[in-house]
């Protein structure tokens, strides 16, 4: 399924997979950019000397950077103001050179009041197929009715 405009309620069924978001390669520059945007300048995310001195193989990505990529995939599917709930669990670190894929599957569709809601299970996996983030989200979507 190719998404060019936000999905509508009638476009979706339980079990549908949303279009994935792929990041071909995380870089140290990505980590530094995120640090600047978030204000989180923990040296574990940008200083190899300090990261290795602390026992890590190199710098690693902010968990919230990975969560942000997952949120971007949901925004791409549903629109920039659609999310009503978004919860994640961080399970692995991401490293320079990792390739990530954000995936979401529709688990529920319902109408509450005037809102048409879509529930999804979401994951971010690295190039090894390991889940680095998992979560759930609810989005409000337009109806064609």
pLDDT tens figures, 23-79: 999 999 999 999 999 999 999 999 999 999 999 999 999 999 999 999 999 999 999
Choose among 61, 66, 67: nearest CA to 137. Answer: 67
pTM comes to 0.91
Assess whether pLDDT exceeds 60 at residue 1: no
Indicate the CATH number of 9-26+60-141 among 3.10.129.10, 3.30.450.20, 3.20.80.10, 3.30.479.30: 3.10.129.10
Packing angle of the helix pair 63-78, 28-38 (nearest 10 deg): 80
What is the average pLDDT across 122-138? Answer: 98
Choose among 51, 66, 74: nearest CA to 98. Answer: 66
Cβ-proximal residues to 44 (8 Å cutoff; 6+ apart), any chain: 50, 51, 54, 56, 59, 60
pLDDT tens figures, 100-128: 999 999 999 999 999 999 999 999 999 99
In angstroms, the CA 38 to CA 60 distance is 15
Assess whether pLDDT exceeds 70 at residue 2: no
């Amino acid at each position: 399924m190719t998404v060019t405009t936000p999905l509508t309620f009638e476009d979706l069924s339980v079990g549908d997979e949303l279009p994935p978001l792929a990041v071909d390669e995380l870089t140290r520059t990505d980590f530094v950019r995120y640090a600047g945007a978030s204000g989180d300048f923990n040296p574990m995310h940008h200083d190899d000397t300090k990261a290795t001195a602390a026992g890590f193989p190199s710098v690693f990505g902010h968990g919230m950077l990975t969560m942000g990529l997952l949120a971007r995939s949901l925004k791409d599917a549903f629109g920039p103001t659609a999310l009503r709930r978004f919860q994640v669990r961080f399970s692995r670190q991401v490293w320079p050179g990792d390739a990530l894929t954000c995936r979401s599957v529709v688990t529920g569709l319902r109408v509450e009041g005037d809102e048409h809601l879509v529930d999804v299970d979401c994951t971010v996996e690295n190039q090894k197929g390991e889940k680095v983030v998992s979560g759930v989200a609810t989005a409000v979507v337009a109806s064609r009715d």
